[in-house]
Amino acid sequence: MPAPHTPARRFFLIVMLLLFSIDLMKHAIVFGSGLQQPWPDAIGYWRLGSAIASGDLAMLSQPIGFRTPGYPWLVAIARTVGGWFVSDSGLLILALLQHAMALATHLLVLLWVWQITSSRTLVLGAYALALWNLSRATHANWVLTETAATLLMLGAANLAWRYWGCEKSLPAICLAVIVALAILVRPVSIIFIPLLGAFLWSLRPPRRRPLSLGAILILLVFLGPCVLRNYFLFGRPQLVTFQGRELWTTTFSPWPGARLPIPTEGAGQRLQQLLASSEVLDPLEVRPLNLRHNWEVSTRLSAAGLDDGAIDQLMQQVAVQAISKAPWKSVFCTAARMGTFWYCWAWPAEEEPASHTKVFAPEIGHSGNATCRWLAGKIFLIVPESSRWTTIVLTIYVGVGLVRMLLCGERGFRRAALIIGFLLLATTVLTAVLEIPTYRYRLPLEPLIIVVLASGIAKIRPDFRFGGMREDMPRSAA
C-alpha cells in the first residue's frame, strides 16, 4: 500500500468522503420523504414487535407460525428505546437504525472489494455502484426484513470468504451466530447452512469436529426456541409454517405461477368443504373469495376454525396434490420464475403495492416533507432498478464477471466467485419454488452483486485504471 501522504491516497480519501457524503444525503432525503408503509407485511411485524415489547417474549398472544422472531425482536427493541425519548417514536428509531444498517452494508461491500482486489480504483467503483440505487434506502424506511437481512447475509458471506480454512475458533463461532440470526430474521437465509457446513469441512480434522459441534450447538440455541414455540402452538416442530401458503402461490397463481386446477378430491375436497362452511369475505376488499390468492384462502380457513399450522399444512397438501398431477408444467413454470427473478424491476414507492399504500401511516408513520418526496421520486427515475433493460444488462455482466473470477486461477477471486455464485443460485431456486419473484426478493443479493461487478472488472479489464491511481494493481487475497 502506498505511503500515507501520496497524491493517490489523498485523492482516494477525498473521493471516498465525497461519495459517503452523497450517500448520507440520499438516505436523509429518503428518510425525510416519510415513513408511510406500503406493504401490509409491515402491520404484522409491528404487531409482533409490540407484543414482544409488552412482555410476550415468545409471541404466544399472536398464534401465527409464518413469521420468525428475529425481526419482530428488532422492532420491539426499537419501540422500547423509542419509548425512552418521545412517546410513539419507535418507528423513527427503527428507521434510523435501518438506515445505519444500509450504510454499514455499503462499507462492508467496499471492504470486501478491497480484500479481493487491493485496488482503490475498484473500491471507488463499487461505492459508485452502491450509490446508484434508491431501493436500499427506501426499504430502510419500511418495517420489513430486507435491510437487516441484507447486512447479515453479506457479513456471513464475507466472513466465510475471509476465514476459509482458518483454524481459529472465533471466526467459526461468529459465522454460526450470524447465520442463525440471518435465519431468524429472514428464513430464506437457510441457504447459508450448506455454506457453513462447507466452511467447517475446510478445517483440518483436529479442529473440524469440535468447531462443528459448537456450530450445531449455536444453531440449536438460537433456532430451537422458535421450533419449540411452533410445536407448542401447532404441534409442528418447524422453524416456520409458511411453505403451504408459498406453494399455493406458485402452484395456483396466474403466470408466472403454474395456474394449475385446484383439486376437488382428497385434501382438495376437505379444503373446499371448510371454505364453504365459512361466509367470511376478503378483509381488504368486499368481494367473493379468490381461490388462487393464498392469503384470502388462509383467512377463510382461519375463520373456519383451523389454527395457523393446520392451515399451512392443508394448503401444502392441496398444492402438492395439484403438482403431482402436472409435474412437468410445474417444473417449466419454476424454471421460468428463475429467469423472472433476474429481470424484475422496482416500482415507485407510492405504487408498491398500490392497493395498500399508506395503509399503515395513520397508525405509526408520518407523511414527511414534500420536497424530499419530490427529490426521491426524481432520483428513482435514474437508478438502474427502475429499468428492466438496465437490470438485464447488469445481470449479464454479473454472469460474465463470475465466470472470469472462477477461471482466473487466483484463490481469492475464485473463492469469492464460488461463495457468491452459490448464494445467488440457491436464492434464485428457493425463491422460484416458493414465490412469484419481485424485485424485493432480489434486493438482499445486490451487495453481493456489486462485489462481483466491481471485482469482475479486475479480470474482464485488467488494464482498467482511473485518474491518478495507476499504482493500483488488482491482486487476490490469500
Q: Per-residue pLDDT tens for 30-42?
A: 998 888 888 888 9
Q: Which grid coordinates are listed for 414?
A: 475464485
Q: Which grid coordinates are listed for 436?
A: 412469484
Q: What share of the chain is helix, strand, coil (3-state, %, to 5)?
A: 70, 0, 30
Q: Which residue has the higher pLDDT, 465 or 420?
A: 420
Contact present, 54 and 79 (Cβ < 8 Å) = no
Asked whether the predicted pLDDT for residue 24 surpasses 80, the reply is yes
Q: Residue 203: which residues within 8 A CB-CB, separation 6 or more?
A: 165, 166, 167, 172, 211
Q: Band of the pLDDT at 463, cuts 50, 70, 90? A: low
Each residue's pLDDT tens digit, 125-183: 999 999 998 999 999 999 999 999 999 999 999 999 999 988 888 999 999 999 999 99
Q: Residue 278: which residues within 8 A CB-CB, separation 6 or more?
A: 300, 301, 303, 304
Q: What is the mean pLDDT of residues 177-197?
A: 95
Q: Which grid coordinates are listed for 429?
A: 431456486
Contact present, 302 and 311 (Cβ < 8 Å) = yes
Distance CA 394, CA 391 (A): 5
Each residue's pLDDT tens digit, 403-422: 988 888 788 899 999 999 99
Distance CA 225, CA 229 (A): 6
Distance CA 255, CA 233 (A): 35
Q: Residue 315: which residues within 8 A CB-CB, separation 6 or more?
A: 244, 245, 247, 248, 271, 294, 297, 298, 301
Distance CA 352, CA 332 (A): 28
Distance CA 97, CA 117 (A): 30
From residue 302, alpha-carbon distances to 4, 270, 295 in Å are 65, 14, 10
**pLDDT for 360:** 44
Asked whether the predicted pLDDT for residue 351 surpasses 70, the reply is no
What average pLDDT does the chain have? 84
Asked whether the predicted pLDDT for residue 8 surpasses 50, the reply is yes
Each residue's pLDDT tens digit, 244-289: 888 888 888 888 888 888 888 888 888 888 888 765 544 544 556 7
Residue type, 388: R
Domain range summary for the chain, segments of one domain joined by +: 7-238+342-460, 243-340
Q: What is the DSSP letter of 305?
A: T
Q: Which grid coordinates are listed for 79?
A: 419501540
Q: Residue 91: which residues within 8 A CB-CB, separation 6 or more?
A: 35, 78, 82, 143, 364, 365
Q: Which residue has the higher pLDDT, 242 or 441?
A: 441
**pLDDT for 194:** 95
H/E stretch holding 431:
helix 411-434
**pLDDT for 363:** 45
Q: Which residue has the higher pLDDT, 61 or 87?
A: 61
**pLDDT for 159:** 95
Percent of the chain with pLDDT over 70: 87
Distance CA 333, CA 174 (A): 38
Over the range 265-303, which residues count as b (16 or more CB within 10 Å of their CB) and which as e?
eebbeebbebbeeeeeeeeeeeeebeebbbebbbbbbbb
- End-to-end alpha carbon distance in the chain: 16
Each residue's pLDDT tens digit, 415-454: 999 999 999 999 999 999 988 888 889 999 999 999 999 9
DSSP line for 193-243: HHHHHHHHHTS-HHHHHHHHHHHHHHHHHHHHHHHHHHHHHHS---S---H
Asked whether the predicted pLDDT for residue 341 surpasses 80, the reply is yes
Q: What is the mean pLDDT of residues 47-53?
A: 90
Asked whether the predicted pLDDT for residue 362 surpasses 50, the reply is no
Asked whether the predicted pLDDT for residue 365 surpasses 70, the reply is no
Asked whether the predicted pLDDT for residue 187 surpasses 60, the reply is yes
Asked whether the predicted pLDDT for residue 77 surpasses 70, the reply is yes
